[in-house]
């Protein structure tokens, strides 16, 4: 090695050591900005965890390889065979697509997009409304922002 290539390799290595790119987590506790946490019940229905109830492994959710919100089976991405969560609201059964949409206060914020089975992207969002209930809204405002904690 000549001295120029040695220093170039050394500075590239130093840059690689200082630069870390982290993927946002898609597995954990999906919590609204208002502090409400999503959970999945025995019938695979998406609900809000009752206030004051402790978080546990059965409360965890994750996005599968196609970014559908599912019961966390301890696997990552396309691995495993997680059960999709179903949101029953307004007389319909929706699957929820997880969409990283923003970043603030050091955390990724997600839009959770309700989509009817066999339908296209809906451009609506799951939200926690003023009555502390799950709802579907047309804009990704504060009530529709979720963060995922491990």
Mean pLDDT of 81-94: 94
CATH class of the domain at 24-149: mainly beta
**Which pLDDT score, from 0 to 100, does residue 39 have?**
95
140: nearest Cα among 124, 129, 121: 124
Q: What is the pLDDT of residues 19-51, one digit of tens each?
A: 454 556 699 999 999 999 999 999 999 999 998
Interatomic CA distance for residues 149 and 1, integer angstroms: 47
- Select, from the ranges 7-11, 19-23, 24-28, 102-106, the one with the highest average predicted confidence (pLDDT): 102-106
The least confident of 4-8, 82-86, 129-133 is 4-8
Here the tokens at position 137 are 């809204």
Domain segments of the chain: what residues? 24-149
**Which pLDDT score, from 0 to 100, does residue 22 have?**
54
């Amino acid at each position: 090695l000549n001295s120029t290539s040695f220093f170039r390799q050394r500075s590239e290595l130093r840059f690689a050591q200082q630069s870390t790119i982290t993927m946002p987590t898609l597995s954990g506790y999906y919590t609204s900005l208002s502090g409400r946490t999503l959970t999945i019940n025995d019938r695979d229905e998406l609900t809000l965890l009752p206030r004051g109830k402790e978080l546990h492994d059965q409360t965890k959710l994750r996005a599968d390889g196609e970014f559908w919100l599912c019961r966390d089976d301890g696997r990552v991405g396309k691995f495993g065979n997680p059960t999709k969560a179903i949101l029953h609201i307004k007389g319909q059964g929706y699957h929820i697509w997880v969409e990283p949409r923003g970043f603030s206060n050091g955390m990724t914020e997600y839009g959770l997009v309700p989509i009817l089975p066999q339908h296209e992207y809906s451009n609506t969002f799951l939200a926690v409304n003023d009555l502390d209930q799950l709802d579907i809204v047309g804009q990704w405002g504060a009530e529709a922002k979720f963060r995922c904690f491990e």
